[in-house]
Structure 1
Amino acid sequence: TRLITRYYSENAVFYMGWKSNDKHRTLGMRIKTTRFVLPGHKVESYHNSLNWESERLLADFDKVFALLDGKTEADVSLVSVFRQHFHALRVGKRIGGSYFDVRYYPGVGTIHFFPKSKTLIDRMNRWVGRQRRWLPPVESQAGQGFWQQFEQAETLDRAFHTEVNKQCPRSSRHVHFDPFWAIKHGGESEREKGHRLLTQAMSTVLASRGIDPDAVLENEPSSLLEWAEALPSDTVLALAS
């Protein structure tokens, strides 16, 4: 995910991260289900294939998505797509592998990936979200509002960026503070300021739509501990032994 978002910020959208015990709340990021772009794949005009580093990256994509799909490898790999259809890709054709359609722009060296399965992208986003603690470790810990804003992140993206621009207006008289740059590349104080501005903007957008990411579930089921406390003590002992 970091690779996908490192060079091209429009590859991802943001959502309000899980409210944990961390000192500072942050926004989570999820890869777009429609398209993402990776630069750095330019080759000379006389070449008939991508370079080794680019092919290795394509192979890594297929490996990850095959695992998400419960398989060991892609049936139609991206490496084979580029090797077999390189000329067609160079002239603008969109060619499909198992998990992505791709378009190649040799002049600028970018590859555009069009995911075929929103389900697999969602699996990856949820796995990364849990690893980064942007999502709760147990899905039932969060209420409907939290999952609503997570699932609607792409729909809310334009309103979110509009709100960020309101809070960080560009002015020729002052140095413009870019919170998106700050959370990736800034020092500690800049990162904190960036996260604070972005979470404020997201809170404003969600509130305007009546979405509360922190609302607890109605009729929330009792925890295992509460359930155990209601049982006879010998039953609790049996569970603990």
Structure 2
Amino acid sequence: MPRPRHEPRNVAPEVFTADEGQPKGKHIKDVLTALVLESRDGELLPSERVLAERFAAARMTVRNAMVELESQGLVRRVAGRGTFVQHPALVRSEIFHSFSEDMRMRGMEPGAKSYRSRTRPAPRDVAAHLGLAPGDPIHSIERVRTADGVPMALERTNLPAERFPTLLTEMGRDDSLYEVLGTVFGVRLQTAEQTVSIARLSPAEAKRLQVPDYDPALLVERTAVDTMGNVVEFGRSLYRGDRYAIRMHVSRSSTR
């Protein structure tokens, strides 16, 4: 079934008319670039057919412009669904920040949804990372982290329940975990060991992050340590592969 006709919103009709002598393809690309940059991340763009009608151009000319935008990382085309706005990838650096701190520094509003929390016995692997015995009580928190309302990451983290007995009553859906640890428990996180690998999102995970099934993601395992050298947190989180890149500082050894 063809998808419903989707017209460009808040665009003056004269924008689609090229100045005399200006190449049609360049005009289309310039207009679409401006449209994308002014649109919300993840927003569905009009189809090639609709755009071709508005520009009074061949669909192939519009398609070529879309291909260029895709190569620049400004749009993402999904077979059977359409073309979506994709704002530039966020670069994760070596500096240790919470998600909330990171987004605020970028001028974005951090948030969350699909918040789930519970106290449970520690599985063997999680207990090993936290320095606990298997079966010791831990607090597990899972939520989708958002930036300006757009899903960015599926966070899953674990903390020792004995050390933070009231954490789940103090913690709200949109709160920064690290801020709660600091203000309520007087714990300051200082360093973290992180391992980053590539994963494919399951259909359930993709639905929560609003991306296609089996899209690539960055799987980040983090063990965070406080200023006293005690392990505070261990988590495995999935960051959208279309929205994140990794930056690392590397150097050559001084020895030969």
TM-score class normalised by the smaller sequence: under 0.3
Bigger share in helix: 1
Bigger share in strand: 2
> So what's the TM-score if we normalise by structure 2?
0.24
